[in-house]
Amino acid sequence: MKILHLSDTHAKHLQLKNLPQADIIIRSGDASFSGTETEVLDFLNWFCDLDYRYKIFVAGNHDDCLFGEQIEGLQKNVHYLCNSGVKIEGFKFWGIPLFMGDAMSGNHDRNIQKIPADVDVLISHNPPHGMLDCEGRIHYGCPILLQKVLDIRPKYHLFGHIHAAHGIEKSEHTTFVNSAIVNEQYEFANEAHLVEIPCVK
């Protein structure tokens, strides 16, 4: 099963052309730049029209209009994961957003602790500490998220958020993927990542 992963397009999704074929497209947040409903609706219209068998997305810190909201009326093959999961062809996907309201209240850390142990592909907006999370000399990743990933050992952890840390890094049990498309100046600089997991679990 091929997964196309991207993140952090910040309202520039219409500029994405000739995306590669895959079974699933996964988006790790920051579809918006200013967090308006107009920007997010424009992204959703684009995303739902893409020609992929399955589509998954989570919210990032720039997608504030989704905080506390439910998204209804999506096609059956489009999944908005907000501290929730979906099983596709035997694999369990779990998505955790990054909302500033949750971060300030401590709910974000509590939601991390609720990630199930049987997740195959973890999708978040922010990275775990020390994994593709560095801008300059500062690591911006979350230590609590790192410990959770080390505990549950998903096959993949897909994220973005730190534009300067685009790349793929493998550990013994998990492949970490940062697919931020724009750079620190919010200019298109990086490609989406294409990864693969076996068809039969």
Within-domain flag for 145 = yes
pLDDT at 74 over 60: yes
**Domain range spanning residue 182?**
2-196
> In which band, very low, low, confident or very high, does the pLDDT at 160 lie, cut at 50, 70 and 90?
very high
pTM over 0.75? The answer is yes
173 φ/ψ sector (left φ>0, alpha ψ -120 to 50, else beta): alpha
Contacts of 53 (CB under 8 A, 6+ apart): 23, 24, 77
Within-domain flag for 179 = yes
Which one, of 104, 103, 174, lies nearest residue 132 by Cα?
A: 174
> In which band, very low, low, confident or very high, does the pLDDT at 200 lie, cut at 50, 70 and 90?
low
102-147 pLDDT, tens per residue? 999 999 999 999 999 999 999 999 999 999 999 999 999 999 999 9
Q: How far apart are CA 49 and CA 40, in angstroms?
A: 14
Question: 171-189 b/e with 16+ CB inside 10 Å = b?
Answer: eeebbbbbbbbbeeeeeee
Within-domain flag for 185 = yes
Question: 119-144 b/e with 16+ CB inside 10 Å = b?
Answer: bbbbbbbbbbbebbbeeeeebebbee
13-29 pLDDT, tens per residue? 999 989 999 999 999 99
Q: What is the pLDDT of residue 70?
A: 85
Within-domain flag for 51 = yes
* Number of structural domains in the chain: 1
Within-domain flag for 27 = yes
Q: What is the pLDDT of residue 92?
A: 98
For the chain, give the mean pLDDT. Answer: 96
Q: Looking at residue 112, which CATH number applies to its domain? A: 3.60.21.10
Within-domain flag for 201 = no
